[in-house]
Amino acid sequence: SNFHFNSFVHKNKNSLLLSQSCKLLKRFYLNGMHKPGDVILGGLFEVHYSSVFPDKMLCVRFDPPGFRHAMTMVFSIDEINKNSNLLPNITLGYSLYDNCATLGIGFSAALSLATGREEHFLQENCSGTPPVLGIVGDPFSTFSIATSNVLGLFKLPIVSYFATCSCLSDRRRFPSFFRTIPSDAFQVRAMIQILKHFNWTWVGLLVSDDDYGLHAARSFQTDLAQSDGGCLAYSEILPWGDNPKEYERIVDVMRKSTARVVIVFAPRMHLVELMKEVVKKNVTGLQWLASEAWTLVDGLDTPAFMPYLGGTLGIAVRRGEIPGLRDFLLQIHPNLHQNNSYGNDLVKQFWEHTFECKFAPPPAGWVEAGGALCTGQEDLENVETDFLDIANPRPEYNVYKAVYALAYALHDMLQCEPGRGPFSGHSCGSLQRLEPWQLMYYLEKVNFTTSFGDQVSFDENGDALPIYDIMNWLWLPDGKTKVQSVGVVKRSASKGEELTLDEDKIYWNFESKQPPRSVCSESCPPGTRLARKKGQPVCCFDCIPCSDGKISNETDSMECTSCPEDFWSSPQRDHCVPKKTEFLSYHEPLGICLTTTSLLGTFFCAVVLGIFIYHRSTPMVRANNSELSFLILLSLKLCFLCSLLFIGRPQLWTCQLRHAAFGISFVLCVSCILVKTMVVLAVFKASKPGGGATLKWFGAVQQRGTVLALTLIQAAICTVWLVSASPAPHRNTQYHNDKIVYECVVGSTVGFAVLLGYIGLLAILSFLLAFLARNLPDNFNEAKLITFSMLIFCAVWVAFVPAYVNSPGKYADAVEVFAILASSFGLLVALFGPKCYIILLRPERNTKKTLRFCRYRSSQSIGSWFTRKVISMYDIFSPEITNLFQFLQIIRPTIIYYSFQFSFQY
């Protein structure tokens, strides 16, 4: 330890006295400036940016901006002393040191501020005001870490104006550290705000190998992941010193990467070495984002670098206005400070650097080499120097705010009323016994507004409300460069973080004059989901279309959501649309065809019925048992009409009625044909000797009763079916995912099977009886007509069953309607076609003369006239019927084949 300072051991002024007096153990030889006052504020500045160590530490390479920062603190204290409203009757003094950009010197200077410059500066009991009550500085993060680690033990407030490392926000480790410049944590968030604004999600990161760069890299990666604002294509550490191979490797990484945006957290010296390699390899087409460490430094906006760095967007310390500062700086002259009130050594060094002269006595050989001697009367206004460049006071503005923050905290402390103070026993701090930890209490609560309009206060981590300017590097047509402000990023207590950009002012160093695209993978459009690529950052992904029934209406959605049950995905998969409804409609081509065919069949039945009624007295009609013929035509008309119940949106009544009407209509028709067949057989049998007794069972009453009984059985089957398990409309979503199929479920499969089975039983019985009677003597051909009609009927319905079972939705209804219409037309054509042909086209054959009568025993039940005419009918149109029967026999397999094809097609 270089000092023994017992008054700082504890924040309570009643600390244990370890020695009879407090004195320095060692004195450091440092460049400094001092001015006495009632309260002294310390300062640490980079007046030189290098040092050498011969016999003792020697600072070299004068830094005019650093000296300007120190003089800004002097100006601020002078302005406060002249302000009657702030710290009235109290004079502030200062004690400033040059850290020479060297950690050892900076740390020694901080210890010197804490211990004081005098051999005995306190009373014998170590009481009194400490050497400094607070320190403005250090500008370097690494130096601030070192000094705060030590001085924080004694709660000595340190207010830095340029240390940005986010690590310094750790209140446990640095309890007395404050700063008026935003931390790198906010700078990182500001960078991320810019990335989000331009949708740059694929970026490279370069950082310096020091606390500033490494903490910035760690913070950037963490915040970038948490904000979901993008990914790092690469992250590289820029080496210190001359290391061309490492810079070459880093530039190769940049050149090969698809990232078009490069973020750099590093000081100027790293950028110079990096850009030399960039120029060498001609790496163009990059958008650079600069941290505040190099946004405004000189030496980078050169004609050699600007083709590559033009258009750079950078974070810069907030620009402020400090009225009167330039006039104050112009008043500095060495001859005015011989009493060392300002520190003549630093002023002389500034003067010698600015005017390139030496004060007497000059170094040996200086005059002989033609060097000039300084008089102290040189005019600052007549020389170009960075010292007077305050057009954009940025660090100076932070120094100004730091000094005023300490002054306001001291002012608030001295306004405390005894007995109402915040310390133990409600005590207050007094000017005679001030302690740094007391000032720190008020510094945490300070809140004021500068003349420029910026609010200054500190959060729980000692960070001021952050605000940065967004700068843009312009490369003008005449080859000159300009750095202009294009926006602001700040955080307010009420609105949080805000980014404001004037995009019209931004210069883009690209042919398109537009912001570049920098993404690993393009955004997934609505209708697709984002699928991560294995082993790659989250910004690299594939876009997979959502499957049927699922949608994604957001960009870069991770999942596709299923549509509700009654909805389906749109073709673009970006929204749900109501599912299409499907049923056999009157408005679609298939429904129109079936409806037209049904009505056409009904019309044909009506026409045939009209023909038979009109010609009812002719032998042809009378010979065909006209009553049963009329009943068959009526039942066929009902069969045609019942097919209409299968068309249209299923309703409860149509579902219940369609199969009942279909079953009863067909049973009525087939039972009439069955009875008619039985009559034919009875007539033939009655024509034989001893067969007349059988005709008594086939009279008109028996025929009607048989038809009625057979039909009532079907009606009973339908009634039981409807009562036990009635057919009902059903919304089926199993056939098609994107459609709702409205159909009638049969309710009871057994009921439906019994209904069809009963029709089939009657049809087969009619077919068998007609087949047995097909070769009756005397050319009797009615049985052949019935045989052929039943053959068509059975063929259609045998084909119907597998077709119906394998047809989904409306096509099942279409198959059933087709079967109904096909079988109805088959019966109509086969039974009545030849008869109408004779009646209409061959009327010469529709006479008694042309009808040959078979000899048979008269049947009282049927009537001799009917029997004679029926038995001799075959003679009249035998050739036509025979040819037609042979033709249909040939095409029967074809009909059956295409019936199956139709069913499987749907």
Pairing of strands 357-358, 372-373: parallel
- AA letter at 419: G
Instruction: Answer whether residue 539 is part of any domain.
Output: yes
529 or 13: which leads in pLDDT: 529
Same domain, 708 and 827: yes
- Residue 878 and residue 789 in one domain: no
Q: Is residue 418 over pLDDT 50?
A: yes
CATH code, domain with 657: 1.20.1070.10
Query: Does 109 map to a domain?
Result: yes
Res 227 pLDDT > 60: yes
What CATH number is given to the structural domain containing 12?
3.40.50.2300
Q: Which of 37, 7, 17 is closest to 128 using CA atoms? A: 7
| pLDDT per residue as tens digits for the range 62-103 | 999 999 999 999 999 999 999 999 999 899 999 999 999 899
pLDDT at 425 over 50: yes
The 10s digit of each residue's pLDDT in 437-459 is 999 999 999 999 988 888 899 99
Report helix, strand or coil for 578.
Answer: strand
Categorize the per-residue pLDDT at 774 as very low, low, confident or very high, splitting at 50, 70 and 90: low
Question: Is residue 519 one of the residues assigned to a domain?
Answer: no
Q: Looking at the predicted structure, is the pLDDT value of residue 709 above 70?
A: yes
Taking residues 340-368, what's their average pLDDT? 82
Q: Are residues 366 and 217 in the same domain?
A: no
User: If you average pLDDT over residues 759-774, what whole number do you get?
Assistant: 81
Residue 858 forms part of a structural domain: no
Within this chain, do residues 176 and 237 fall inside the same structural domain, yes or no?
no
* In-domain check, residue 284: yes
As a whole number of angstroms, the distance between CA 524 and CA 227 comes to 19
pLDDT at 837: 85
Task: Tell me the whole-structure pTM to 2 decimals.
Answer: 0.60
Give the pLDDT mean for 559-582: 89
Q: Considering the domain boundaries, does residue 836 fall inside one?
A: yes
Do 800 and 655 share a structural domain? yes
Residue 106 sits in the same domain as residue 191: no
* pLDDT, average across residues 575-589: 87
**Are residues 191 and 172 part of one domain?**
no
138 preceded by a cis bond (ω within 30 of 0): yes
Give the pLDDT mean for 292-299.
86
Q: In this predicted model, what pLDDT tens digit does every residue of 173-224 receive, in sequence order?
A: 999 999 999 888 888 999 999 999 999 999 999 999 988 889 889 989 999 9
Output the pLDDT for position 789.
81
- So what's the pLDDT on residue 507? 95
When pLDDT is averaged across residues 759-764 and rounded to a whole number, the result is: 87
DSSP string, 662-690: HHHHHHHHHHHHHHHHHHHHHHHHHTSTT
Q: Are 214 and 110 in a shared domain?
A: no
Alpha-carbon torsion 561, 565, 571, 575, what sign? negative
pLDDT for residue 341 is more than 70: no
* Residues 174, 25 within the same domain: yes
- pLDDT value for 23: 59
Same-domain status, 574 and 595: no
Q: Is residue 510, in this structure, part of any structural domain at all?
A: no
Task: Among 150-164, 293-307, 563-577, 769-783, name the one with the lowest average pLDDT.
Answer: 769-783
405 with 470, same domain?
no
Residue linked to tokens 């673009």? 572
Cα 694 off chain centre by: 89
Query: In this structure, is residue 516 part of a structural domain?
Result: no
Rounded mean pLDDT of 288-311?
89
Domain end position, chosen among 413, 432, 453: 453
pLDDT band at 683 (very low <50, low <70, confident <90, very high): low
Which structure tokens are listed for 164?
Answer: 């940005």
Binned at pLDDT 50, 70 and 90, residue 54 comes out as: low
Range of the domain at 841: 589-848
Higher pLDDT, 772 or 838: 838
Written as one letter, the residue type at 785 is: L
Asked if pLDDT for residue 876 goes beyond 50, the answer is no
Distance CA 125, CA 15 (A): 10
pLDDT at 867: 33
Q: 20 and 158: one domain?
A: yes
Residue 25: band (very low, low, confident or very high) from pLDDT cuts 50, 70, 90: low
Residue ranges with strand state E in 722-836: 728-732, 739-745
How many domains is the chain built from?
Answer: 5
pLDDT confidence tier of residue 50, bands split at 50, 70 and 90: confident
pLDDT the model gives residue 859: 30
Q: Residue 697, CB half-sphere, CA atoms under 13 Å: how many?
A: 12
Residue 253 pLDDT greater than 90, yes or no: yes
Q: Over the stretch 801-814, which tens digit does the pLDDT of each residue have?
A: 777 777 777 788 88
Confidence bin at 902 (pLDDT 50/70/90): very low
